[in-house]
Amino acid sequence: MPDPKTELNFSSPYTLVVAVALSAQATDVSVNKATDRLFAVADTPQKMLALGEEGLIPFISSIGLYRGKARNVIALSRIVLEQHGGEAPLNRAALQALPGVGRKTASVVLNELGIEPAIAVDTHVFRVSHRLGLANAATPDKVEAQLHRVVPEDWLPKAHHWLILHGRYTCTARRPKCSGCVISDLCPSRAGLQALGEAN
C-alpha cells in the first residue's frame, strides 16, 4: 500500500475534524454511515450550528457516546466559526483546544492533511507496535514517543496508516492472521501466538 489514507470520509479539514472526533471508541465504518448522511446537510460550522445539538443527535445516535460527541461537535463548531473564521485551525495547539479534540485526534488530522507527520496511537497501533517489537511502553503517549524514535521521519505519515490498517485487517486483537501477514518473517511475536493457538 504505497499511499495509505484514512478510511474516514471527509471533504474538508472541518469535516475531517468532526469525523475523527466522532470516531473515538467507534469504527470508521459506523462513523462513515453516520457522516454520509450528516455531511449531506451539515458540512460547515454554520450548518452544524443551525442543526443544533438536538438536530445532530439523530444523525449520530448509532455511534457510541453520541450525546457527549454531539455536545462537543456543536461546541467546536461554534469556536471554529467565532475564533477561526469558519475554517478548522490547522496547528496542534488550536486543534487540541477544541472540545472533543485531544492529542490523538489532532495527530490524525495533521498527519492526514500533510501538515505534521504524526503517529496517533490508537488500540491498533498500540497492539501492532508491541507485537512487532517497535515499542514496549505502557501508555499511548510513551508508545508514540518510542515510534518517533524508530520510524524514519519520511515514513511517519505512512507508518501511522500502515500500523492502523495492519492492526485492523491482519494483526487483529483476536486470532491474528499470521499465515497471510506480509511481515510475519520479521515478527518476534508470531511463534508465541501460534504456539498458544491464538493465531491463524
Q: How far is CA 24 from the centre of its chain?
A: 8
Query: Is 33 one of the annotated active-site residues of the chain?
Result: no
Query: Is 158 one of the annotated active-site residues of the chain?
Result: no
Contact between 1 and 165 under an 8 Å Cβ cutoff? The reply is yes
DSSP H/E element including 59: helix 45-60
Contact between 65 and 25 under an 8 Å Cβ cutoff? The reply is yes
113 residue type, one letter = L
C-alpha cell at 115: 501538515
Distance CA 55, CA 47 (A): 11
Query: Among the options 33, 69, 122, 141, which is catalytic?
Result: 122
Query: Among the options 104, 154, 177, 185, which is catalytic?
Result: 104
Count of beta carbons in the 10 Å neighbourhood of residue 40? 9
Point out the residues that are catalytic. 104, 122
